[in-house]
Amino acid sequence: MNKKIRIAVQSKGRLAKASLKFLASLGLKFNVEKRTLLAKCDNPKVEIIFLRDDDIPKYVEQGFADFGIVGENVICEKKFQVKVVKKLNFGLCSLVIAVPVKSLIKVVEDLTGQRIATSYPNLLKSFLEQREISAAVFKLKGSVEVAPALNFGDAICDLTQSGKTLKENGLKVIDKVMDSQAVLIAAPLGLMDFDFLI
Ligand code: PRT
Ligand code: ZN
């Protein structure tokens, strides 16, 4: 095989360090200190590309990267056409629905007619549809947990790991949309000669 394998990982953020650790565990050696957008590996057939996590599935889907490491939540939200080839058991978190602790909303059925702020509108809408709940979904890019305190939403749907941020913002979980973890993804067109990664 002469083709170079290009692997896309998050440049900064929650998955960055663990992604490189996973690649190192496969025997790949690369220089992270002199890291630019692209890092060459000792193995000349492999190169690592550093991206925003949201862009990783696009690169893989379009074939600009052969593999990528990203949270399942990202690929499920935008329904990217990529294959999940391995669950990596890091970046564990859950996408949950939470409300202010004193809210009269106790179960998701109580969300009918209410406003929910989230960075994951597609996943939330499918969840609500499955439960036949009609609620207004507002998209926010970040800091979703502060929305109810600012009266921008009666509930939120966001990722949580330790639960600390929800607690600090006076919120409690009433239901779970999905569990998520980091996954190794590949372009949909086969995985020839890449066995060492799987
Ligand atoms: O810059 P870039 O676009 O690459 O990164 P990003 O800021 O969009 O993503 P980043 O680094 O925050 O998260 C990358 C991935 O890590 C996510 O897509 C998830 O798959 C995974 N992950 C695991 C998490 C968390 N745990 C997590 N706790 N992503 C976000 N959070 C947030 C959560 O929403 C809350 O606001 O962290 C905050 C703290 O959580 P608690 O519950 O531990 O307090
Ligand atoms: Zn991102």
pLDDT along the chain (198 residues), means of 10: 84 96 92 74 86 96 95 96 96 98 97 98 98 98 96 97 98 98 87 55
Q: Is 67 left (phi over 0), alpha (psi -120 to 50) or beta?
A: beta
pLDDT the model gives residue 87: 98
Q: For residue 4, what is the DSSP state?
A: P
Distance in Å, CA 19 to ligand 1 centroid = 14
Distance in Å, CA 151 to ligand 2 centroid = 25
Ion ligand 2 residue ranges (Cβ < 5 Å): 53-54
pLDDT the model gives residue 45: 84
- Quick one: tokens of 116? 């929910």
Neighbours of 73 (CB within 10 A): 23
Of ligand 1's listed atoms, the one at least distance from the Cα of 163 is 42
As a whole number of angstroms, the distance between CA 157 and CA 37 comes to: 33
Q: Which position has the token pair 């998209």?
A: 139
Say yes or no: CB of residue 53 within 6 Å of ligand 1.
yes
As a whole number of angstroms, the distance between CA 188 and CA 36 comes to: 27
